């Protein structure tokens, strides 16, 4: 629970910094009355990958549910992690702040309104996810880098600074809490200090001879990681089918996984033989308490069951056992193998049940088991002890599944406090990532694709170089005149689901059709709601903006948007006009229709756009040919329009060899 | 010297990875004959800040000069760092590879030609700088983050991966070298192992009570850091004037600084009293050898001079002494104060002399002295020992001067191997950065501005929102027709210094003027050199490209460009024509002339452009209004065109309060 406190704390801290800059920004808006004309460098958001998707429309309640659910799930010994839910929680709370708090639950303040825009909300969510990792692993720098490498699809130096601030607050609050809890009042919290698995051994010596086994470890780890991703995807597909059938099925599924887990945990230790207690054990052997390394489990006195010692511990303690160096003789290699296989299978089946689950901890446990097993096989041929092999094994499986480099490296560094092992960890991560990348994508992309979020990759596929933007623009274009009839606006809003419409000044307001800008659906709805209508189609100037405050156009909370269906316009008003000019974004990004699709994608993604206007090459036609949105850049859409590209070598050039996947 | 080996090694490693992707890219080019039409997502480069500037045109020889110079300068006790020169060396070697090796010195291979393009060269330079930090501080992750946070102005996830690979290779090679040198054959190299200043003290305990003094430390550190930047700028201005006068003055300046340094180092210890040797000293006291902590310096037997112990050591040993925990009684506070002030002054005066110099180590030494002094003032009121105060002091001064967060944090972590101190270091960095940011910019920006590199900030200044791109386009526009007379091309190339020209198809080749694309000066020169002329102005199709290979258009090495003056065209050829279509980049990025300047800047900077075409709002005029380059976005240029903006509140909003600077 302290983690939730943590995250609340940091939010408060970083908010103050933000407030000033946001206030300044808001002041500019209102003072110049250029509310909508102000350039929005990031008027839209390349989606913050999973998180925006995840937090969408279920933010308010779910932050707490996630934490409670995660606690219950982890304590029920399901093989799932706590990092994912904490990242989710952080992102949810941040998103809640970004949408101006929650009026329903009374948690809203006046100054929160400054964050009601796309950019601040996105930044807050990024920082929230950084705080989640920082709190889950006590790895503040790792958290920042995780947010940078895996979460954010659009990065600014200011954001780096803010995420760092967030992580620093988390680190300091965590430190203070551990300080306060030193007296032992908080149960197991903070036991072991700020570093979760301290494996510092004074003399980590390794030589060039140790590199080949580590390379092998990395290669196998990469293969295991990609198989993990592959299997997880298949299991999630099946789970999705089951979960769609209703709540009863969901709970049934969770129960059966839970029972299966319990059977494994209680049944498998029977396979492991009893081992005599070591004579020089530091702690009591066999242990009876809830945490301890020598579980008795049906063994005669003076003996312990090594497999039970791993299974009947918290995940953290199991990792600590596997990582520690003085335990080379504590485990039998068959037990470690069983442990590894069980964890591998359980972690695949446990993710995706209704409980909030993370992937980090299961992968670390599994990888530690795998690494230790390899270490045992190496035996005395290697200078590295089994604990270090376990750390490297965890790195290889994480690298093979998540495919991050810098952030995983730093997180592992912060988890284990073992700086001397850094070159080895870097090597293993690189090898496993490279090996795994030849088979499939990273686990987050797979999950995101499975959930159907339209996530746009940062790079262009090779076949996009063969197309121009004109080739992918589809559908009838819905434009508005600079001064448009209310009836038309209502009609277009009701019959389409577009979020942006080009505004074109046509005669008699200009000599020839001129692109005036882009108006957003949300803003049109505000205009209809406020009924700023003109009886005749004449230019009014910008005085009309005085009737609005910046807050009217602030970004609404998820699910709080007004719908066109809810707005009542009388028949008389239908024949009136709206002057769209003051509410039009007069600087939309544009590309010529002959622009290469690959280059347009780079513009779209790097600048972080939501709408990209396509203008004609010659001016014979209207001044806009079409509007490109994220969906127009999705490979499914493009290949649907141009099916011949599927078999072209342009596609093959980048796509992974499908033949390998077919083997499974 | 092993560092140079290091950097060579990593280059070899990472090259292999690159080669494959570059080969694939090149193959596409030649096979489709679309050599120049292929979309260049990053056809240009937002400049890799200082490095590109620094390495420009003097790469080949200077890599070695830098290393030799740096070794001589550091060993002459000048108070300068080795990180800067190593970063420079790494970048130089990378740049050398990026321009296809050096034919003059015979270091060129066939496959190196794959890197002869803007993107690969830029990536290589970034990786080279990461390798420099990784080698200088044995901080591989810190090196990657340094390259990310401070070096690269344009970042891709592939680049992160490559930089990480580079750093990993450096780490492993370094590890092996330390292994090899374990026998003591390499002098002081590798002494102390992989971690430079190992200050791990088992029980770093600090409580909330310790936060206020640390905050004060951060605030003063921030102020000191900004004063440092301010003074350094002034000193560099004076040095620039002196250095411009000729080599003799340069050397005279370096000599006088060197003599001044020597006077300080030998004179000041006279001020410090002799102290009796501690009875429980681990090493001999007083020491006579070249490295040792208790220098005798004119003291009676059994006594040592603490100031001499700091001055007469290598910088590394001085830092180690200051950082270590068991030395609380070793130094007198007056000595530490003298040491701090001397280092502060010397480091300002030493940077900028003709020797290659870095800033990291002097700042760490100075900061360590400052932190230790504060620690002494605190005395027993704090739980932190003086060594930890020294670490935090170094962090505060680095943060106050360089203004980085994540990378400094990781570098300090890797330097000191002290993970438990991480929250405190984060806090200090944040505080000192925030305090210092209110006064002036970071040291790198100041130096870069002083050198006159046109570096484009990533953010738009507020006054840019008031302007459109049409407001800053200047000068007569030089366009080419799709099929252009050789005489015109030669004339335009000779009379302008532009690097890109819009190509416009005008009647009779089209009904109305149509923008065909952008052609580069370098490509035009290649065309003139190869004399691909047509006797009459007719369209030829793309067969003409068969006469070229991709290599003809490859990016040349710095200073190797052909000049228009060197190309001889006969009077007869002058009246012939060139079909520019096959050599035109048909997908240039464009903006409408009414686009807000701030948004255009974001497009320019995020996508990383060199030329941005401005197209007219209406088609009455020609199809291009102007070309924007980096210089058009520079604040000096914009404020020169619109001087009224200097005093507008739009400018004040972001600029630092000038009044504070006037105080000095």
Taking 70 as the threshold, does the pLDDT of residue B650 lie above it? no
DSSP B279-344: TT-SS-SSB-SSS-S-B-TTPPTTEEEHHHHHHTS-HHHHHHHHH-GGGTTTS-HHHHHHHHHHHH
Q: What's the gap in Å between the CA of A512 and the closest CA on chain B? A: 8
* Residue B646 burial (CB count, 10 A): 13
Taking 50 as the threshold, does the pLDDT of residue A8 lie above it? no
pLDDT (0 to 100) of residue A323: 85
Write the residue in B38, B164, B653 that is nearest to A405 by C-beta. B164
Residues from chain A that touch B146, judged by Cβ atoms under 8 A, are: none
CB contact under 8 A, A423 and B172: yes
Interface with A, mutate which of B26, B140, B157, B585 (most A CBs under 10 A): B157
Choose the weakest-confidence range: A189-193, A233-237, B184-188, B534-538.
A189-193
Q: Per residue in A63-99, pLDDT tens?
A: 566 777 777 777 777 788 888 888 888 888 888 887 7
Taking 80 as the threshold, does the pLDDT of residue A279 lie above it? no
Write the residue in B149, B167, B460 that is nearest to A41 by C-beta. B460
Q: What's the gap in Å between the CA of A418 and the closest CA on chain B? A: 8
Average pLDDT over residues B552-564: 72
Interface with B, mutate which of A29, A35, A153, A175 (most B CBs under 10 A): A175
- Choice between A616 and B341, residue whose per-residue pLDDT is larger: B341
Fold of B208-270+315-451: Clc chloride channel (1.10.3080)
Question: Pairing relation of β-strands A480-481 and A500-505?
Answer: parallel
Q: Decide if A433 contacts A403 (C-beta within 8 A).
A: yes
Angle among Cα B573, B577, B578 to the nearest 5 degrees reads 115
Residues from chain A that touch B9, judged by Cβ atoms under 8 A, are: none
Average pLDDT over residues A565-591: 87
3-state secondary structure of A302: coil
Q: Decide if A564 contacts A588 (C-beta within 8 A).
A: no
Report the distance separating Cα A211 and Cα A230, nearest Å.
28
CB contact under 8 A, A598 and B41: yes
Q: Decide if B445 contacts B153 (C-beta within 8 A).
A: no
Q: What's the gap in Å between the CA of A523 and the closest CA on chain B? A: 20
- Choice between B55 and B108, residue whose per-residue pLDDT is larger: B108
Q: Given pLDDT bands bounded at 50, 70 and 90, which one contains residue B619?
A: low
Taking 70 as the threshold, does the pLDDT of residue B203 lie above it? no
Write the residue in A165, A596, A620 that is nearest to B39 by C-beta. A596
Report the distance separating Cα B343 and Cα B350, nearest Å.
10
A:B CB pairs within 8 Å: 204
pLDDT (0 to 100) of residue A318: 84
Q: Given pLDDT bands bounded at 50, 70 and 90, which one contains residue A305?
A: confident
Q: What's the gap in Å between the CA of B16 and the closest CA on chain A? A: 13
Residues from chain A that touch B460, judged by Cβ atoms under 8 A, are: 39, 41
pLDDT (0 to 100) of residue A34: 27
Q: What's the gap in Å between the CA of A419 and the closest CA on chain B? A: 7
Report the distance separating Cα B462 and Cα B407, nearest Å.
29
Residues from chain B that touch A511, judged by Cβ atoms under 8 A, are: 618
- Give the closest residue to B338 by CA, choosing from B258, B270, B262, B412: B270
The CB-side HSE value for A214 (13 A sphere, CA atoms) comes to 28
- Choice between A552 and B413, residue whose per-residue pLDDT is larger: B413
% chain B with pLDDT above 90: 19
A617: cis peptide before it, omega within 30°? no
Burial readout B490-519 (b: 16 or more C-beta within 10 A, e: otherwise): bebbeeeebebbbbbbbeebeeebbbbbbb
Q: Which chain B residue's Cα is nearest to A203? A: B193
Q: Given pLDDT bands bounded at 50, 70 and 90, which one contains residue A239?
A: very high
pLDDT (0 to 100) of residue B557: 64
Q: Decide if A581 contacts A516 (C-beta within 8 A).
A: yes
Q: Per residue in B156-189, pLDDT tens?
A: 777 888 899 999 889 888 888 887 777 667 766 6
Retrieve residue A621's tokens.
């036609």
Q: What's the gap in Å between the CA of A514 and the closest CA on chain B? A: 6
Taking 80 as the threshold, does the pLDDT of residue B391 lie above it? yes
pLDDT (0 to 100) of residue A42: 30
Average pLDDT over residues B273-302: 75
Q: Decide if B354 contacts B72 (C-beta within 8 A).
A: no
Interface with A, mutate which of B21, B33, B36, B41 (most A CBs under 10 A): B41
Write the residue in A171, A419, A460 that is nearest to B423 by C-beta. A171
Choose the weakest-confidence range: A567-576, B215-224, B339-348, B611-620.
B611-620
Q: Which chain B residue's Cα is nearest to A511? A: B618
Average pLDDT over residues A612-622: 77
Q: Given pLDDT bands bounded at 50, 70 and 90, which one contains residue A392?
A: very high
Q: Per residue in B348-362, pLDDT tens?
A: 998 888 778 888 999
CB contact under 8 A, A617 and B515: yes
Residues from chain B that touch A514, judged by Cβ atoms under 8 A, are: 617-618
For A543-584, the three-class secondary structure string (H helix, E strand, C coil) is: HHHHHCCHHHHCCCCCCCCCCHHHCCCCHHHHCCEEECHHHC
Q: Per residue in B238-252, pLDDT tens?
A: 999 998 898 899 889
Residue A590 belongs to what H/E stretch? strand A590-592
Interface with B, mutate which of A405, A464, A597 (most B CBs under 10 A): A405
3-state secondary structure of B626: strand
Q: Decide if B388 contacts B214 (C-beta within 8 A).
A: no
Q: Which chain B residue's Cα is nearest to A410? A: B141
Q: Given pLDDT bands bounded at 50, 70 and 90, which one contains residue A45?
A: very low
pLDDT (0 to 100) of residue B55: 36
Q: Which chain B residue's Cα is nearest to A210? A: B176
Average pLDDT over residues A45-58: 35
For B492-556, the three-class secondary structure string (H helix, E strand, C coil) is: HHHHCCCCEEEEEECCCCCCCCEEEEEEEHHHHHHHHHHCCCECCCCCCCCHHHHHCCHHHHCCC
CB contact under 8 A, A157 and B149: yes
- Choice between A651 and A227, residue whose per-residue pLDDT is larger: A227
Choose the weakest-confidence range: A317-326, A443-452, B50-59, B573-582.
B50-59
B508: cis peptide before it, omega within 30°? yes
3-state secondary structure of B181: helix
Q: Per residue in A332-350, pLDDT tens?
A: 888 999 999 999 999 999 8
Question: Pairing relation of β-strands A500-505 and A514-520?
Answer: antiparallel
CB contact under 8 A, B39 and A511: no
CATH top-level class of A464-652: alpha beta
Phi, psi of B517 (to 5 degrees): 155, -155
Report the distance separating Cα B481 and Cα B504, nearest Å.
5
Cα distances from B516 to residues A571, B37, B501, in angstroms, run 49, 11, 11
Phi, psi of A446 (to 5 degrees): -65, -45
- Choice between A621 and A400, residue whose per-residue pLDDT is larger: A400
Cα distances from B253 to residues A232, B234, B244, B349, B354, in angstroms, run 67, 16, 12, 10, 8
CB contact under 8 A, A149 and B157: yes
pLDDT (0 to 100) of residue A541: 60
Taking 90 as the threshold, does the pLDDT of residue A395 lie above it? yes
Q: Decide if A132 contacts A89 (C-beta within 8 A).
A: yes
Question: Is the domain covering A213-270+314-451 a CATH 3.40.1160.10 domain?
Answer: no
% chain B with pLDDT above 70: 80
CB contact under 8 A, A141 and B28: no
CB contact under 8 A, A161 and B405: yes
Strand order in the sheet with A514-520: A480-481, A500-505, A514-520
Q: What's the gap in Å between the CA of B419 and the closest CA on chain A? A: 7
Q: What's the gap in Å between the CA of A195 and the closest CA on chain B? A: 8
Average pLDDT over residues A365-391: 88
Taking 90 as the threshold, does the pLDDT of residue B224 lie above it? yes
What is the DSSP secondary structure assignment for residue B127, as one 8-state letter? H
The CB-side HSE value for B284 (13 A sphere, CA atoms) comes to 9
CB contact under 8 A, B160 and A511: no
Q: What's the gap in Å between the CA of B448 and the closest CA on chain A? A: 18
What is the DSSP secondary structure assignment for residue A354, as one 8-state letter? S
- Choice between A608 and A128, residue whose per-residue pLDDT is larger: A128
pLDDT (0 to 100) of residue A559: 62
Q: What's the gap in Å between the CA of A61 and the closest CA on chain B? A: 31
Write the residue in B168, B514, B606 that is nearest to A427 by C-beta. B168
Q: Per residue in A499-536, pLDDT tens?
A: 899 998 887 777 777 888 899 988 898 888 888 888 88
Q: Which chain B residue's Cα is nearest to A593? A: B587
Burial class of residue A542, CB neighbours in 10 A (0-12, 13-18, 19+):
middle
CB contact under 8 A, A590 and B594: no
pLDDT (0 to 100) of residue A159: 85
Q: At what angle do helices B443-451 and B386-402 cross, to 10 degrees?
A: 40
Alpha-helix runs per DSSP H in A33-82: 49-55, 59-75
Write the residue in A160, A175, A606 that is nearest to B607 by C-beta. A606
Q: How much is the mean pLDDT over chain B?
A: 78
Average pLDDT over residues A349-370: 88
Bridge partners (DSSP) of residue B500 are B520
pLDDT (0 to 100) of residue B658: 44
Q: Per residue in B73-90, pLDDT tens?
A: 777 777 888 888 888 888
CB contact under 8 A, B140 and A423: yes
Report the distance separating Cα A292 and Cα A305, nearest Å.
12
Taking 60 as the threshold, does the pLDDT of residue B61 lie above it? no
Taking 50 as the threshold, does the pLDDT of residue B655 lie above it? no
- Choice between B220 and A176, residue whose per-residue pLDDT is larger: B220
CA A330 to centroid of chain Cα atoms: 38
Residue B484 belongs to what H/E stretch? strand B483-485
Report the distance separating Cα A498 and Cα A486, nearest Å.
17
Retrieve residue A444's tokens.
């987050």
Choose the weakest-confidence range: A248-257, A324-333, B210-219, B316-325.
A324-333
Residues from chain B that touch A604, judged by Cβ atoms under 8 A, are: none
Residues from chain A that touch B195, judged by Cβ atoms under 8 A, are: 419-420
Interface with A, mutate which of B161, B166, B207 (most A CBs under 10 A): B161
CB contact under 8 A, B423 and A460: no
Token pair 């003109």: residue: A534
Average pLDDT over residues B37-58: 33
Q: How much is the mean pLDDT over chain A?
A: 78
Strands (DSSP E) found in A267-323 = 274-276, 303-305
Residues from chain A that touch B586, judged by Cβ atoms under 8 A, are: 594, 596
Q: Decide if A74 contacts A80 (C-beta within 8 A).
A: yes
Enumerate the domain spans of chain B.
2-183, 208-270+315-451, 464-652
pLDDT (0 to 100) of residue A557: 64
Token pair 């990461």: residue: B130
DSSP B574-606: HTSEEE-GGGSBS---EEETTSBHHHHHHHHHH
* Residue A301 burial (CB count, 10 A): 7
Which residues are within 8 A (CB) of A646 and not within 5 positions of it... i.e. 6 or more apart? A639
Alpha carbon dihedral B607, B608, B613, B614, in 10-degree steps, equals 70
Report the distance separating Cα B357 and Cα B80, nearest Å.
5
Residues from chain A that touch B611, judged by Cβ atoms under 8 A, are: none
């Amino acid at each position: 629970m302290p983690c939730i406190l943590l995250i609340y704390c940091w939010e408060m801290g970083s908010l103050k910094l933000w407030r000033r800059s946001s206030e300044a920004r808001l002041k500019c808006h209102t003072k110049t009355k250029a509310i909508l004309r102000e350039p929005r460098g990031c008027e839209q958001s390349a989606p913050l990958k999973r998180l925006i998707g995840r937090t969408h429309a279920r933010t308010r309640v779910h932050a707490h549910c996630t934490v409670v659910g995660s606690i219950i799930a982890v304590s029920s010994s399901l093989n799932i992690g706590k990092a994912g839910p904490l990242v989710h929680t952080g992102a949810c709370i941040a998103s809640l702040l970004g949408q101006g708090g929650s009026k329903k639950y009374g948690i809203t303040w006046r100054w929160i309104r400054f964050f009601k825009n796309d950019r601040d909300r996105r930044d807050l969510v990024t920082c929230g996810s950084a705080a989640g990792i920082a709190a889950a692993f006590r790895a503040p720098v790792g958290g920042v880098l995780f947010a940078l490498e895996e979460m954010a699809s659009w990065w600014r130096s200011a954001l780096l600074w803010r995420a760092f601030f967030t992580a620093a607050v988390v680190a300091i609050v965590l430190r203070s809490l551990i300080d306060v809890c030193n007296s032992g009042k908080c149960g197991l919290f903070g036991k072991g200090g700020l570093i979760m698995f301290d494996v510092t051994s004074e003399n980590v010596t390794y030589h060039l001879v140790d590199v080949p086994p580590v390379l092998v470890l990395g290669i196998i780890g990469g293969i295991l990681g990609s198989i993990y991703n592959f299997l997880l995807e298949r299991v999630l597909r099946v789970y999705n089918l089951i979960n769609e059938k209703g709540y009863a099925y969901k709970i049934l599924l969770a129960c059966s996984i839970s029972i299966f887990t319990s059977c494994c945990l209680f049944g498998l230790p029977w396979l492991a033989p009893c081992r005599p207690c070591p004579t020089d054990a530091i702690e009591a052997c066999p242990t009876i308490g809830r945490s301890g390394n020598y579980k008795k489990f049906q063994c005669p006195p003076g003996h312990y069951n090594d497999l039970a010692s791993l299974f009947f511990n918290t995940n953290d303690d199991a990792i600590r056992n596997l990582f520690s160096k003085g335990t080379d003789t504590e485990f039998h290699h068959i037990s470690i193998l069983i442990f590894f296989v069980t964890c591998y299978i359980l972690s695949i089946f446990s993710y995706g049940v209704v409980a909030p689950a993370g992937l980090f901890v299961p992968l670390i446990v599994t990888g530690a088991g795998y690494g230790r097993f390899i270490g045992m096989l190496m035996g005395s041929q290697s200078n590295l002890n089994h604990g270090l092999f376990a750390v490297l094994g965890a790195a290889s499986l994480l690298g093979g599944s998540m495919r991050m480099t810098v952030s995983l490296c730093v997180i592992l560094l912060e988890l284990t406090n073992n700086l001397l092992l850094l070159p080895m960890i870097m090597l293993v991560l690189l090898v496993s990532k490279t090996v795994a990348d030849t088979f499939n994508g990273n686990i987050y992309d797979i999950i995101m694709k499975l959930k159907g979020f339209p996530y746009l990759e940062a790079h262009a596929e090779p076949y996009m170089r063969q197309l121009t933007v004109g080739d992918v623009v589809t559908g009838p274009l819905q434009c508005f005149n600079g001064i448009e009839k209310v009836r038309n606006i209502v009609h277009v809003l009701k019959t389409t689901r577009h979020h942006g419409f080009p505004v074109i000044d046509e005669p008699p307001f200009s000599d020839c059709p001129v692109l005036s800008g882009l108006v957003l659906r949300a803003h049109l709805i505000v205009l209809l709601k406020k009924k700023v209508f003109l009886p005749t189609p004449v230019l009014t100037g910008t005085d009309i903006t005085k009737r609005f405050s910046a807050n009217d156009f602030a970004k609404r909370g998820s699910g709080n948007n007004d719908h066109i269906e809810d707005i009542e316009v009388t028949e008389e008003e239908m024949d009136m006009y709206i002057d769209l000019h003051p509410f039009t974004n007069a600087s939309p990004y544009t590309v010529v229709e002959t622009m290469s699709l690959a280059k347009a994608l780079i513009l779209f993604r790097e600048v972080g756009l939501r709408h990209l206007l396509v203008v004609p090459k010659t001016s014979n036609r209207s001044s806009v040919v079409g509007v490109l949105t994220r969906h127009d850049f999705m490979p499914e859409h493009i290949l649907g329009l141009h099916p011949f590209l599927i078999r072209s070598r342009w596609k093959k050039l980048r796509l992974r060899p499908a033949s390998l996947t077919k083997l499974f």
